[in-house]
Amino acid sequence: MEMRRLGRTKMIVSAIGMGGIPIQRVSESQASAVIETAVSYGINFIDTARAYSDSEAKIGRVLVRHREKLIIATKSMARNREDMKKEIERSLQDLKTDYIDLYQVHNVKDESSLEQVLAPDGALVALKEARELGKVRHIGITGHIPAVLVKAVRTGEFETVQFPFNPIETAGIEELLPLASQMDAGTIAMKPFAGGALKNKVLTLKFILEKGFATVIPGMDTPQQVEENILATEGRLLTEEDNEVLREEVSALEGNLCRRCEYCLPCSQGIDIPLVFLLDGYWTRYGLQEWAVEGYQPLRVKASECADCGECETRCPYGLPIREMLREAAGHLEKR
């Protein structure tokens, strides 16, 4: 396994890390088998979150056997000091450890969230206090909007930055990735397969690693997926033919893949358009129909409530036929 330095944290992480979303949906023993397989192949970086239901707890069961050699990253959506303090304690408890290597502020999606995090009673204060106490070793940030993350990285408060990156979602390449390199913030590529849309997995992971990320964290819930993903760090660099394969795959997806950039919002009816498409992706591409329908039910405004005003489509930089896509999503997620 190729190892890389995670920016100024100076932690040495496996180029292929493990994303902790999918193990939510498998049994405890299956989750343990996947994590043990990952460890046996030299994967030492595992990323999870408070928001991933029992993912931290499942990782914690294996972590007790390998604490010294594993680097655990987790994250919370808490935005103020008190809430973040509680979240850190819960993470320590669920992960069954007395320290967390990297604690990230999760999904900072706009400037007002970033301001809350950085405020005098914001989440960052709790993270710094936990770092002083040795409960957290390093502090990072995650999100989907490069412009917000650029502002965050520039503050110098975050030692790592995690954002979606893959052959079809390359928005971070112009400013965020070079800035992170300049400020020596460790880079973590999430959603490498664009929510299951990209099928050439090994080529996709190689593409991401060749852009200079410290680690990329595909979600894995079977030992076979671990074995497939680690092939990306072996063998040759991408050839011109490989790049052509990726370009063709991207152009086939381009007209109907939501990148969750949120430029289409706000919807005049209040539909959370990117979230509907994310859930529809789980329904159509992940074969997780029940899980997707369950996640869709709490949505205050449903896709079928689109009033057809078309405003969102004028704002989507990818020219997606949002209204048509919402009708399809409603057909999948609302039909029972």
Query: Which residues, 106 to 135, sit near ligand SF4 by CB under 6 A?
Result: none
- The site that binds ligand SF4 (CB under 6 A) totals a number of residues, namely 26
d(CA 56, CA 188): 19
| Beta strands, E only, the chain | 3-5, 12-14, 18-19, 45-47, 71-76, 100-105, 136-142, 160-164, 186-190, 215-216
Q: 154-167 in b/e burial notation, b at 16+ Cβ within 10 A?
A: eeebbbbbbbbbbb
Closest separation in Å from C-beta 167 to ligand SF4: 16
Spatial CA neighbour of 256 closest among 195, 200, 165: 195
Under the binding rule (CB under 6 A), the answer on residue 329 touching ligand SF4 is: no
Which phi-psi region, left, alpha or beta, contains residue 134 (left: φ > 0; alpha: ψ -120 to 50)? left
Under the binding rule (CB under 6 A), the answer on residue 173 touching ligand SF4 is: no
Closest separation in Å from C-beta 196 to ligand SF4: 16
The alpha carbon dihedral of 151, 154, 158, 162 has a sign of: positive
Q: Which of the ranges 66-74, 109-117, 227-235, 266-274 carries the binding residues for ligand SF4, by CB under 6 A?
A: 266-274
Under the binding rule (CB under 6 A), the answer on residue 311 touching ligand SF4 is: yes
CA 78 from centroid of its chain's CA atoms: 17
Whether residue 329 contacts residue 277, with contact meaning beta carbons closer than 8 Å, is answered with yes
State which residue, 178 or 255, has the beta carbon closest to ligand SF4: 255
Among 13, 185, 246, 320, binds ligand SF4 (CB under 6 A): 320
Under the binding rule (CB under 6 A), the answer on residue 260 touching ligand SF4 is: yes
Under the binding rule (CB under 6 A), the answer on residue 318 touching ligand SF4 is: yes
Whether residue 52 contacts residue 64, with contact meaning beta carbons closer than 8 Å, is answered with no
Q: In terms of DSSP bridges, do strands 3-5 and 12-14 run parallel, antiparallel, or are they unpaired?
A: antiparallel
Closest separation in Å from C-beta 176 to ligand SF4: 17
Under the binding rule (CB under 6 A), the answer on residue 301 touching ligand SF4 is: no
d(CA 117, CA 156): 14
Under the binding rule (CB under 6 A), the answer on residue 261 touching ligand SF4 is: yes
State which residue, 202 or 316, has the beta carbon closest to ligand SF4: 316
Under the binding rule (CB under 6 A), the answer on residue 168 touching ligand SF4 is: no
Among 156, 255, 287, 310, binds ligand SF4 (CB under 6 A): 310
Contacts with ligand SF4, residue ranges (CB under 6 A): 258-264, 267-269, 271, 273-274, 306-312, 316, 318, 320, 322-323, 326
